[in-house]
């Protein structure tokens, strides 16, 4: 078993707060989310493109590669799970399995509950049990934790590969039954507002877990970074050559393939992008000192709360911008005022994202707010 008794994990792997490279990539992922969500909301009505031939929509087609950055979020969630193992090492170097599983269980419960609450606040009570990224990551956490304790990191890697390559055949078999809520959770069903289904998306947190396991051990080794960069670049190039690096913009439903059922090389292209970014971030991190309340630190440390905040706020503010400034008549971007109105929502969300992250740092890291679970 790769984890063995966990002795080398305890001595080699630093906690998440010391991994500046991951903080940098987290910040990039958050920044893209804070731009992409408002952007799609501004050019669509009930998730359908308003003016498919307009200048702004045509520009969107050229920018669809940004959708691949969204895949960074579940990968980084897997990285965060790997880093938490260091908090559950006994004095003899072995993993405290019960402590680790208890932590993962409650994390999954809280995360998925926040996801359902976010659904209700954003779209109304009828959508409370819609399936989104937070619920998918919660399932992935439980699955990865069980597998790593039973079969080690190699088991997690095998699981991720198996899901990637067998997801499509399984989806093809189960798709006729996707109207069932639980089958929809497995394979996706956008008509019932089920996105980020277990197949194939659970593979991304699993891959993130394995990548973090390797990087936290070998990230100071230039040969490892060069190899990782080469693998990442190869994945991206192959995905581009196959025409699968980005999802196509669906005029009738903007969130369809982007978060529903991607092609294999769309997923691997996202993994490749993450490898490239984390390698570049590791090089840059040696020369960077993060400001406590700076954009990078705030985006990184507040990633969960920023994700929830931007979903709720952007979906409620977008109609105000659209109606208040007659934005659907500005999609040709003919003058400076059109561009100014367009920029209002994304820039506001960036600012609010920074404020949210800084607030989280102030409450959590400066011990102004505590959540403790105690046995009765």
Q: Tens digit of pLDDT for each residue in 53-91?
A: 999 999 999 988 888 888 899 999 999 999 888 888 777
- Runs of H (alpha helix) within the chain: 7-12, 20-42, 55-62, 66-69, 72-84, 97-123, 133-174, 181-187, 198-201, 203-218, 222-241, 256-259, 264-285, 295-301, 303-324, 336-360
φ/ψ of residue 330, rounded to 5: -110, 5
The residue count of the chain comes to 376
Spell out the per-residue pLDDT of the chain, length 376, in tens. 344 444 334 334 344 447 899 999 999 999 999 999 999 999 999 889 999 999 999 999 998 888 888 889 999 999 999 988 888 877 776 778 999 999 999 999 999 999 999 999 999 999 999 999 999 999 999 999 999 999 999 999 999 999 999 998 998 899 899 889 999 999 888 666 788 999 999 999 999 999 999 998 888 899 999 999 999 999 999 999 999 888 888 888 887 655 677 888 989 999 999 999 999 999 998 888 888 899 999 999 999 999 999 999 999 999 999 999 999 999 999 999 999 999 999 999 999 999 999 999 988 765 554 445 444 4
**pTM greater than 0.85 (yes/no):** yes
């Amino acid at each position: 078993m790769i984890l063995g008794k966990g002795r080398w994990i305890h001595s080699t792997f630093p906690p998440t707060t010391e991994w500046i490279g991951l903080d940098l990539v987290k910040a990039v992922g958050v920044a893209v989310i804070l731009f992409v969500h408002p952007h799609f909301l501004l050019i669509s009505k009930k998730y359908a493109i308003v003016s498919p031939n307009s200048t702004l929509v045509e520009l969107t087609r050229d920018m669809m590669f940004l959708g691949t950055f969204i895949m960074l979020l579940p990968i980084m969630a897997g990285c965060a799970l790997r880093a938490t193992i260091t908090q559950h090492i006994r004095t003899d170097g072995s993993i405290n399995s019960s402590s680790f599983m208890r932590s993962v269980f409650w994390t999954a419960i809280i995360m998925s509950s926040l996801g359902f609450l976010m659904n209700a606040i954003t779209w109304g009570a009828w959508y409370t049990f819609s399936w989104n990224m937070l619920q998918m990551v919660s399932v992935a956490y439980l699955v990865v934790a069980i597998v790593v304790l039973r079969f080690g990191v190699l088991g997690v890697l095998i699981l991720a590969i198996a899901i990637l390559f067998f997801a499509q055949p399984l989806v093809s078999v189960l798709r006729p039954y996707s109207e069932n809520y639980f089958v929809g959770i497995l394979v996706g069903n956008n008509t019932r507002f089920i996105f980020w289904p277990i197949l194939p998306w659970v593979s991304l947190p699993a891959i993130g877990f394995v990548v973090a396991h390797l990087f936290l051990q070998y990230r100071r080794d230039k040969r490892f970074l060069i190899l990782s960069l080469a693998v990442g670049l190869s994945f991206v190039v192959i995905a581009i050559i196959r025409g699968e690096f980005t999802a196509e913009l669906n005029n009738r439903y903007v969130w369809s393939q982007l978060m529903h059922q991607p092609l294999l090389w769309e997923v691997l292209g996202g993994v490749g992008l993450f490898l490239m970014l984390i390698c570049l971030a590791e090089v840059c991190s040696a020369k960077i000192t993060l400001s406590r309340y700076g954009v990078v630190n705030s985006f990184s440390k507040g990633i969960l709360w920023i994700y929830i905040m931007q979903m709720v706020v952007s979906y409620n503010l977008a109609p105000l911008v659209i109606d208040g400034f007659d934005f659907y008549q500005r999609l040709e971007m003919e003058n400076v005022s059109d561009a100014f109105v367009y920029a209002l929502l994304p820039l506001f969300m960036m600012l609010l994202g920074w404020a949210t992250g800084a607030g989280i740092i102030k409450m959590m890291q400066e011990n102004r707010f505590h959540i403790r679970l105690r046995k009765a």
